[in-house]
Structure formats: C-alpha cells, structure tokens
Chains A and B, each alone.
Chain A
Amino acid sequence: MDLRWKKRLMDEGEINRAVNRMAHEIIERSDRLEGVVLVGIHTRGIPMAEHLSKLIKHYEGVELPVGKLDITLYRDDLTEIGVQPIVRRTEVPVDIHDRELVLCDDVLYTGRTARAALDALMDLGRPSLIRLAVLVDRGHRELPIQADYVGRAIQTSRSEVIKVRFHSTDGQEGVDLLERGS
C-alpha cells in the first residue's frame, strides 16, 4: 500500500497542549481521582496513558496506575484477515473491579478497536465506569461509540490515514495526514 504524505496535523507542542488539556479534564470530571486507572491500548495508547499519568501527578500529586491492553484477541476480523497480528501481553497492574477506567488510544476511527477494548476490559473485571480518551477523533464511526476526552477532532476522508508518532514508540512526535495511493 502506497502512502503519500499530505500535511502535518499536530506537532509536538500541539500534542503536548492537547494532552495537557485532557489531563485537566480528567482531573475535573473525576469524583475520586485516586480511584482512576489509565489503560492504554497497544501500541500508541500506552505512551499516551503514560503521558497523562505524568501530567496528573505533576498537577495533583496523585500517581495513576497505567495498564497496557492488547485487544488483538478481541478483534472481530481475525478469521478474515491475511496477516497475523502479533499478540502482546496485557498488563493491568491493579484489580479493576469497581474502579474508574480511562481507556486511552491515539486515534478514534470506526470504533471497533474501542469496542474490542471494552470487551477485553470486561473480561478483566467489572469496572464502575469506563471513559475513553483519544488524541485524534477522525470520524467515520461504524459503532455507537463516542470519546469522552478528545485531543483534536479532524474531518477526514476514508482514503486518508492518520499517523501518530510518539517518542517512546517511534523516536519522534507528531500527527500526520497521509493519503492512500491508488
């Protein structure tokens, strides 16, 4: 698949400002911040969750645990695809029973990843509440799923691809819009 770069949507500073704002929103909306668990979806939901945790600790002095969630085994297309997704270990360091979770991911698109993540979380325990935080919401939902915290909402077409990069996973930081070649 050919991908053509179109434009930069967010640079490092813009990402920082967006995540900063989301951190504040999480602080504001939570009744008991100590009970919140941040759960990042492999791969780029994890640096986002870690980033949020760091900022919340900075502002409030509360260190929220960060879990890593792999949703591969919950994908609804496993038996239809021609490549084999690599399954990574899910690591949620605390019992999520009755806890408030913030599920973190880089991009919200069809909603299928979030759906799979919800199923996965339910198999880990019974959280009291799950909220969804995404850096970019690009629309085109196929399931009735909405994000509670959005870094930036962007209008896209289906032929476009959003590429998010973080220092810890990609060695650089930024959000780019690419176009799928014919």
Chain B
Amino acid sequence: MRQMIKDARIAGLTEGTEVADLYWRDGVIEGVGVGGEVDRVWEAKGAFLAPALMDLQAHFCDPGQEVREGLAAGMKAAAAGGFGTVVVMPDTEPVLDDAAQVAHLQARAEALGGVRVRVAGALSRGLNGEQIADLAALQQAGVVLATDGVMAVRDGHLFRRACEYAEELGLLVQGGGLDRNLCQAGVMHEGRVSERLGLPGQPAIAERLALYRDAEIARMTGARVHFGHVTTSESVELLAWLRAQGAPISVGTTPHHLLLSEESMAPFDPRCKVFPPLRPPSDAKALRQALIDGKIDCIATDHQPWTLAEKEQDLVQAPAGIAGLETAWAVLYTALVVPRLLTVERLLELWTSGPARVMGWKEPRLVAGEAADMVLLDLDTPRPVEPMGFFSKSRISPWDGQNLCGWPIATFVRGQCCFTREGFGEASRTSVHRTERL
C-alpha cells in the first residue's frame, strides 16, 4: 500500500511554515515530493511530522496485572502519545526473567500490531537481587536491556558480575536509581516540604550514591549502563563527570521530574507520588538546563499505571508512579518549547535519536529507505488533559485539566496508522476518496 501525508511541516526537511508531502510504500519511506498515485492521502494541513517517539521505560504490567494496563491498552496509549517504540519493564507477574516468556510477550505484541514493543528483561532472577538472570538466553529472545527497576541492586558485587557478563554479550544494563536502605520508608523527597507535611522522606543522596556505585562499576567493567531516572542536579553533575572520566554511561530523566516538584505533594496528592520522588524546584530547573547542555541523553515516561482504587489511598499505601505515555510530549512541548526554553528539534532529539543512541539503534530519520515510523503533531491547538479519555487503563494524571499544545494527531508504525485523534481520520478519508477519483 502506498500512502502520502500531504502538506506537513516535516522535521529536518522543511523550514518554518513551509509544507511538503511525504510518500511511503508499505513500511518504508520513499521520500518527499516523489509524486505518483497513492492509495491513501492524509491531510496534515500544516501539522508537524516527525519520527515516531521512543520510550525506553514503560510498565505495562503484563503479564499479571492487566487490570492496571496490559499490552493492548498500553500499546494504544503509547500510540496516542506519539510513540512508535516502547521498551517495557520486567516487573511483571511473573517477572520477565525467562526467555520463553519474553518471546511470548513479543509474539503477542506483534499479533496485536501497532507500536513496536521491545522488552527489558530482569537483571537478576525474579528481581531478587541474588542471582543473575539468564541474560544470554533473554537477549536471544529479544531482550534489549537488563534492569532490576528503580531500586539499585542491593549487592554491589552482584551488579558488578552482571555488568561483566552483560558487557561480553553487548547488552545494555540499567543502573540503580535509589539506594533502598537510605530510602527507608520515605514516600517523598526529604527536605523542607516533607517536614512540613509530616511525611517520611528519602534523602537525595539515596539517588546519588546508587548512581555513583553503579557508574563506577560501569567504568570498571566497561559495560554500557543507562541511568533512566536521574532526578537531581547533583546526580546530573556526577554522571557528567563520570562520563568525562570515560564511564560508558548514558542519562535519562522523565517529564514529571522535569516539570513537577516536591511542592506538588503539598495538597497530599497521591497522583504525584513517584519513585524517585519529585525533587525541589531547583532540581527540576537544573534538569531542564541539562537538557540544553546535553548532559541528559533522553527522556523516558516511566509510565507506571495504577488503578484509581490503588491510588486513592493514603500517601504511604498509595503506590508510586505516574502514567505519562499520553501526555509526555504535550506537557514538555507546552512547558519548554512554547515559552522557547528549548527548541522543538532538541525536544524531538531527546525522544527519538537520543534514546536510539542509548540503545545502540539506528537514529530514525524521515528519508528514503527508512522505516515509516512517524508521528503527526498539532503544535498549535490547545486541548485539556482529560484522563477519562485516556487509552491507558490508568485514568489518573497530575496534569488533569491542564490545557496543553503539541498533541499527537496521528501515529504511524511500519507505515500503518495506529492512532488518529478524533476528527483527524474523518477529514482524511474524504480526501482519499477525492484523490482516487482524480
């Protein structure tokens, strides 16, 4: 099937308000302005066409807790957020530490079609931090990253051995986010706000120390280690320094750590409970600066869906996590690009070529011969966040009700449309008709 997006502003190809038409056949891009007959025309009407976004960190809770998300809902949510590729986390029930399971999950995702689902496998068997998982078998089954989650592996020795093993396989390892012991029962960032609220806090050094140990192990073993939840100014500086010393590491952060702060917890809002916890505004500001400075390689959603019943608890009982797939691009675009704190190109890089480089994948570009994984973004029309309309089963958002710009209006993966925002598809179908007659 041959398709064309008409009158789009195309990332990296057109300037300013200039528009062009992009053609693709089946899953492969043919190029801009190629001409010729097509089966389907998508009217972009000046919307912005970019490579589909990549998310290196999403929890789909599948298998085991499909009540929270599941593969199908998660993939739809990802497509609605403009993502063409998502790496799903292994903290499922059972844990993704078994090659057959990984293969099965991937086969199910293929069968569903749409967003490309890549699997992060467990670093230790059962995520128990005691025995390294069968990393080679997992890798062969398709695992692209080994991780035990946000809490650092308790045993530094085990992490060292895992890194050595993974280095030989060429498998990327995710480094620790937080030191369990220092976190204790903390439910938020320890500091002025936690004392005021009387909530147990976790000190910022719980993050820095975890990162430091794992980054030094990366340097020693030569294993590529990615730190996906870097949330403080000092962590960023520490990792930048270690990288300059030759540690083979990469750095990621999340939309909520970039935009929200510990103050969001002040109304006792479990929606904002997340690990690592939201930090003081000065840290969020430093993270935003690090996006510009290049000290951060990529942004990931750390999409963590919970049901309303699970979240509507007290601040200790309520689980940590924000379901951010569907708002990730729009919140950052609105908060950073609209007020010109960041260019749209840089934000796009942090969601596309940035994560691709971290993963060692080919950087996506909208040129001939490349995969037709694309997202069409409406950069101008403000639209409120309506969690009740989410594709994700987790209809909770800390940005509930906020008016955002930049919303994805259509997502294409392997050349096939897997999401259109209400209204967009309709208009296009009529135009297809007309084009065929011509």
Q: A–B direct touch, CB within 8 Å, in complex?
A: no
